[in-house]
Structure formats: C-alpha cells, structure tokens
Chain A
Amino acid sequence: MPKGYLAFIFHAHLPYVRHPEHKRSLEEKWFFEAITECYIPLLRVFQQLESDGIDYAVTFSLSPTLLSMLEDPFLQGRYGDYLAMLQSLATREEERAAGDPDFAPLAQMYRQRLDHTAWLYNEKYGRRLVKAFQELQQTGRMELITSAATHGFLPLLGISKEALYAQLTAGMDYFESIFGYRPRGIWLPECGYDPFMEEILSELGLHYFVLATHGVLYASPRPKYGVYSPILTTGGLAAFGRDPETSTQVWSAKEGYPGDFNYREFYRDIGFDLDMESVGDFLHPKGLRSNTGFKYYRITGPGEHKEPYNPQWAAERAREHAENFMFNREKQVEYYGNLMDRPPLINAPYDAELFGHWWFEGPLWIDKLCRLLAEHPRRPVEMVTPGQYLEKGYPLQESTPNASSWGDKGYFEVWLNGENDWTYRHLHRAASRMVSLATDFPGAKGMLQEALTQAARELLLAQSSDWPFIMTAGTMDIYARQRIKSHLLRFFALEQQIRENRIDPGWLNALQSTDNLFPHLDYRLFQSHEVTTPVESQALQSAKTQM
C-alpha cells in the first residue's frame, strides 16, 4: 500500500463565447488559445504517457459551456481557420529566423508543434476534441466529470431551488449526451458551496464534489483528518477539500515554479514585438496588437532585459520542479500518515487554463511528475482520481462543509460586490419567472416548446459566474455587462411573447442559432419543486428519452 494518494484535478472551463456576427472577436480567441496552448498540450501529455505504458491517474472537469464550444461546428471551423493562420505564421517565422542560432530552433519548434496540433485536430479527431478525452477516459486512468450547465455561482443563485437543480441537471445531461454516462463527480463552479445546496445535490446520484480548503477544514463537526480525507456530507456525497500546500507550491508569488528564470517569458510575444508587416495579417484587421503564442525569450530575471529561450534548460528545470514536488509530497504523506488510520489523500485541483498558456512548461512538468511517481522504486505516493479513492472503501466522517469558494477572500465577495450585486435582482426574478413558465406549460409542443427551451437557455447563459467575475476583475467588464444584460433581455422578451401567445418565429429562430448551446435542453428542469419533486422530474427526463 502506498503511504499516500495524490489526486490531480484539472478544471477546464470557459464561458460560452461564440460570435458569428463578427469576423474576429477577442472572446473567441480566448477559446482558440486555450485549445492550442492548454487543452491539446495536456491531452498530448496523457496520450504520450499512455503509449509509454506509464501508470497515472488524473481527473478532468470539462464544463458544459466548454464542451458546447468544443462540439459546435461553427467554432470548430473557425478554430480550424485560426490554426491554419498560425501555421502559416509559423512558416514565415521559420524563414525569418533562419540562420539565427538562438531563434531558428525555436521557430522550428513552434512550427512542428503547430503542425502536430493541426494533424491531431483535423485528421486524428476530425475536429472533435471530445473524442480525445473520451479515448483517455476509456483507459480508466482519466476520470471525466463536469460542472453546472453554464458555470453559475450556485450559492447566490440557489435562492431558487429550481434554478440550482436546473444548472446542475442540465450540465450533467449534456455531459451524458456526449460521453454516454452520468459523471460521478461534479465541479461546483468556483468551488462555490453553501450547505443549503445539499438537498438538491443529494437528488442527483452524484458521489463527490471538490471544495476550497476551508470548505472542508471549517466543516462541522470538525473533520478529524482535515483535508486529507474527504468528508461525508448530509446529502451523502463525499467532499474533497483542496490541499493548501500543493496550490501554494505551484502558484506562490515568491517561490512558485512558473516564475523560474529559465522558463518562457509570457510577455515577449511577436504580436507586440514585431513590426506590423511581419505579423499584421495575423492580428486583428484593424491592426490591434495581441498575443500570437510565438515567444522567443526566457524570463531571465526581474528586469526588462531578456535572453533567448532555451527549451533544454527549461525542460531540465521542469524535471527538477517535478522532483521537488514529488519530494515534498513524500514528506507530506509521511507527516500526515503518522497521524491518520489510513493513507492521506492530497487533493490538488487546478484551473486547466493555467497550464501551457501562461505556464508554458506546465504540461511538461505534469508529464515529468507522472513519470517520476510511476517509476519511483517504492511508490510512496500513488495517483488516484476521487472516484478511485472512494472505491477503496474507507468509512468517511460525517460532517457538513462550510460555505465557501476558491475565489479571492474565500467566500462569495468576488461574485457579490458593488460591481455586480445589481445582477441578482434580475437573475432571481428571471429564474422565478422561468419556474412559473415551466410549471404553467408542462407539456408544450412545437413552437411554444421551442420558445420555452430558448428562454431556459437565455436564463442559463445569464447565470454564468464568469460575468460577475469579469465585472469584479474590471477588464472586459463592458462585455460581461452586455452579455448578462442581453441574455436577460432576451429571456424577458421571450417570456412576454409566450405569456401573450405571440411568439415571433423569425426572432426565435435567430436566437436559437446564436445562443445555440444544449441542443436537447428540457425546459421542464425548471418546473416548480412544489409541484414536482426533483426525482419526478428525473423520471420525466427518462420518460422523454424513451419516447
């Protein structure tokens, strides 16, 4: 038996950003960059571990909005174009850098990476990256879970039980429609939790969720083993608390790994450094500068002076950092193991988008770490997924987690402050109107059903935690305000048309093709729980699929 377990969880999420009305949008570029620099590099790490026969275990939480974008043919096409553009830039960069001892190998590296990415994306997976996740899931070494439908911040939406239920169920339904099974775990958006959510969580057949450290540490009764064993909540789910050491070790401002001087410098990108002639056609038609992903320098030091990037040195550092991480986990499980009647579990959840994009060497570090752990002669620390850990059958301590989130200050303030508190009045009102609609029109057919379904989509989109988050961060907040306002206005107009029995088919159609996620969404998920219990609505669901 190992001395301890390590659960790596990557939460991959982006809000639903799809703008066919514009030739280029910065928001879609977030998505494209995340695919190129995070999701594909991470997938390649685990594919390589598979083909090298390395034993590992990892969990990916794929948010329903991210899955929707990955499955959307329009965005698939656009990403294909974006990738082709990057490839042609790569070819030009190779020519430009030719003969330069420092930069030529780097230009070649980027060209090769992009060629492989394009092959993987276009040829191997026919533009459906979810297939890559599915392949890895089927090996049993990657556990896939999902999140609430549009990543709504549940503690502040749950004033309506129905809204809470619909966010969770619509997300799980969509996941199941892609992967063919119900996820065992759920990523509560932003790790946002309040004990009142147990009532709904217990109805969904879920086995676990993940919380911030103090979500479990401050649970009551006091958890005997802190965050090093999950606790069993009143709803009968296991709550896994985040290990604080692994998060600070990677992300600490002072000694965190990504700031190493040999790692790639994020802020020296040819999108800003080169003249417009060299990169202009890659950038926005209006000549607005942005990142291209072609970066030739290493962090070097705290000053402005930067030296060329050396991939070998960076790889060496990644290996050292992986060794350091493993050494610290070994010490950690030894320490806690002496205080516990079972091997401690170190739960290490991260945002997937930080690996590869900002921390270029992040995926390489994960690769090295998995290999070191698997090849360790004593294997003191074994990787597990939360699902695998629960299968080991340790009795869990009954305890109610503390209301919390993993946002700044640890509670709800990021999503509830002077910048965004005005939204809840409208979001709650819209949710209660949606519950009335779903309850008043239980068996709608035809256009009425379509309008009700679209109203549900608009409400869900308005509920994304990303909009209040962006308003707090203060950049791009105009976009966030506009998004939340647009979806609410669309919702209220639909509601009125439904109530007045004068649905505008042309407009409805336009909405359906713009805000087009969750094709099989059932608006009845919002039916009042006074009238129908969640279990009954699940039965409704299965009755519908059998029809």
Chain B
Amino acid sequence: MPGCFLFIHAIIKGLEGIIDRKEEGESAMQLNHKENLDRGERLPLSYSEDCLVLLPRDPRWIFAYWEVSPLTRRSIEQQAGAGWDGNRTILRVFRFEAGQEHGEEFFDITPGPLAKSWYIEVGVPGRGYQVELGYVMPDGRYELILASNKVTTPRDRLSDILDEKWRLPDWQARKLYRRIALSHLSSPERLRQEAALAPFYRDGRGDKILQS
C-alpha cells in the first residue's frame, strides 16, 4: 500500500534499504568475519565505576541508568553493618521549578535488585529534574550514594513568555558597525583619516579638497 508505506517512510526517513522489507540480502555482519578485528565478544557488563546518568526522553519521561562500584558498595555495607541488599536502593526524583536553585523532593522509586536503568514518568514538561540513588539503612536512615546530572524536559506547547527582543546576529552587527566606523567617523577622526589619505591626492584635486 503506497499510502501506508509513505507514512511509515516519512516517519523513519531515509534509510531506504533498512525498511525495505521486501528486499532480501546479505548483511555484511550476519556473516562470520574471516578476520574479526574486534578484541573480545561482549561489551563489559559493568565498568566498576560509579555512575548515575539522567537523559530526557520526551516532555513527560526521563531515563536513568546507573552503576555502583564494588568500592562504594563496600563502604555502604560497612555503614550498614550488613551485606548489600539491592532491595534497599532507592531512586529519589527531584524537580526544579523555573528559576529555582534547589530541587524539591518529588517521589521515590524502588527499582529492585536487578535493575540498572529506569524510565521515570515525571509528567511535567519544561521542568528541571535530578535523581539521587540512595540506600535505606537498616535503621531506616536514607544514605545518598550517587547524584545524577540535571536535565530539563522539553516543552509540549507554546511558551507562555511573550517578551520580545529583536537584534541582528553578532556577525552581522559587526559588519554593520564596521561599515559605520569606516564611513561615518565623527569630525576630528574624519579629518585625521583624510590627512592620512592626503599623499594620494597630491596632484590636482586632492590638494584643493584639503585646502578648502
């Protein structure tokens, strides 16, 4: 159905061969390389480094992934006086209202021991968000492990701010002022500039202009 196909096509744009389901063919990577240049077969499951990264997905959803290094785990275990319990980890979501320095606590998520990433429905477009990964100690105290970067969800509608300021792009403003500087200097500067040009006008009219 051309119409239907067009629609899909318009959405996924361009890489024709990829969605060309009718096309058979041999993908280069489906074959075994005689000479495999990759060193190793799998990407590491972990990098043994602490990280908590937040990415915006759309106006209402953000995505977090994390890793807690063995070293950090041990330090938590020491504080807890017990072995690491993945069920005690918490993702604490903070929201920043426009212009605010500090986010307010929004809600908590218990991702469970196996999760390494989470899609979080924050629901409000155009706001800043930050996430903490924390641990609930046996005594109920919340211990911060990692804080994420801050992200802002996109807007999904027209901005309410209607202030209008208009100007030329800098590179163009520079061109404009350069021209003004060349041809519209104030009087003393203009005279100095003409005096500097005098040698070129010595024969004939140039002298007259300077004399007058």
Taking Cβ atoms with an 8 Å cutoff, the residues of A that contact B are 13-15, 17, 19, 21-22, 24-30, 33-34, 155-156, 159, 194-195, 207, 217-222, 224, 232, 236-238, 247, 251-254, 256, 258-259, 265-267, 272, 284, 286, 288-291, 299, 302, 351, 353-354, 357-358, 390, 393, 395-398, 402-404, 406-413, 416-417, 421-422, 424-426, 428-429, 466, 469-470, 473, 475-476, 478-479, 482-483, 485-486, 488-490, 492-493, 507, 510-511, 514
B27 touches A479 (CB 8 A): yes
A29 touches B22 (CB 8 A): no
A398 touches B165 (CB 8 A): yes
Pick the contact of A393: B33, B43, B172 (CB < 8 A): B172
**A155: B residues at CB distance < 8 A:** 56
A-B CB contact pairs (8 Å), 17 listed: A24-B26, A29-B25, A207-B171, A220-B155, A251-B9, A351-B14, A357-B16, A407-B11, A412-B58, A413-B61, A421-B65, A421-B117, A425-B65, A428-B53, A429-B51, A473-B19, A489-B40
Give A144 to B65 CA distance when docked, in angstroms.
39
Pick the contact of A397: B12, B15, B34, B164 (CB < 8 A): B164
Give A177 to B73 CA distance when docked, in angstroms.
49
B59 touches A476 (CB 8 A): no
B161 touches A220 (CB 8 A): yes
A489 touches B43 (CB 8 A): yes
B57 touches A413 (CB 8 A): yes
Task: Indicate with 1 or 0, residue by residue over B1-28, a CB within 8 angstroms of chain A CB atoms.
Answer: 1111011011111111111111111111
Q: Is the interface of B mostly helix, strand, loop or mixed?
A: loop
B167 touches A395 (CB 8 A): yes
Closest 9 CB pairs of A and B: A26-B25, A220-B159, A493-B39, A253-B7, A25-B28, A403-B154, A411-B58, A482-B29, A251-B10
Given contacts A290-B25, A396-B169, contact A159 B149 (CB under 8 A): yes
**B3: A residues at CB distance < 8 A:** 253-254, 256, 259
Give A466 to B9 CA distance when docked, in angstroms.
15
Check B170 for interface membership: any CB of A closer than 8 A.
Answer: yes
Give A194 to B158 CA distance when docked, in angstroms.
16
Least CB distance from B151 to A in Å reads 9
Give A122 to B147 CA distance when docked, in angstroms.
58
Given contacts A253-B3, A396-B168, A396-B169, contact A416 B55 (CB under 8 A): yes
Task: Indicate with 1 or 0, residue by residue over B143-177, a CB within 8 angstroms of chain A CB atoms.
Answer: 00000010011111111111111111111100010
Least CB distance from B113 to A in Å reads 18
Pick the contact of A404: B29, B154, B170 (CB < 8 A): B154
Check B209 for interface membership: any CB of A closer than 8 A.
Answer: no
A488 touches B27 (CB 8 A): no
Pick the contact of B53: A159, A259, A351, A475 (CB < 8 A): A159
A411 touches B57 (CB 8 A): yes
Task: Indicate with 1 or 0, residue by residue over B36-66, a CB within 8 angstroms of chain A CB atoms.
Answer: 0111101110010101010111110101010
Check B203 for interface membership: any CB of A closer than 8 A.
Answer: no
Which residue in chain B gives the minimum CB-CB distance to A485?
B43
B25 touches A288 (CB 8 A): yes
Check B186 for interface membership: any CB of A closer than 8 A.
Answer: no
Least CB distance from A99 to B in Å reads 30
**B162: A residues at CB distance < 8 A:** 221-222
B161 touches A396 (CB 8 A): no
**A29: B residues at CB distance < 8 A:** 17, 25
Least CB distance from A327 to B in Å reads 22
B168 touches A393 (CB 8 A): yes
Q: Which of B37, B51, B163 has the most CB of A within 10 A?
A: B37
Which residue in chain B gives the minimum CB-CB distance to A291?
B23
A353 touches B26 (CB 8 A): no
Give A272 to B161 CA distance when docked, in angstroms.
57
Give A13 to B16 CA distance when docked, in angstroms.
12
B35 touches A510 (CB 8 A): yes
Given contacts A353-B15, A421-B63, A489-B43, contact A299 B2 (CB under 8 A): yes
B27 touches A473 (CB 8 A): no
B28 touches A222 (CB 8 A): no
What 11 additional pairs, Cβ within 8 angstroms, besides A221-B165, A253-B3? A29-B17, A30-B15, A155-B56, A159-B55, A390-B172, A397-B165, A403-B152, A413-B58, A466-B15, A489-B38, A493-B39
**B26: A residues at CB distance < 8 A:** 22, 24-26, 284, 286, 288
Which residue in chain B gives the minimum CB-CB distance to A30?
B17
B43 touches A218 (CB 8 A): no
Which residue in chain A gives the minimum CB-CB distance to B67?
A425
Q: Which of A15, A402, A409 has the most CB of B within 10 A?
A: A402
Give A258 to B1 CA distance when docked, in angstroms.
12
Check B114 for interface membership: any CB of A closer than 8 A.
Answer: no
**A353: B residues at CB distance < 8 A:** 14-16
Check B212 for interface membership: any CB of A closer than 8 A.
Answer: no
B15 touches A398 (CB 8 A): no
**B55: A residues at CB distance < 8 A:** 156, 159, 412, 416, 424
Check B30 for interface membership: any CB of A closer than 8 A.
Answer: yes
**B160: A residues at CB distance < 8 A:** 222
B37 touches A207 (CB 8 A): no
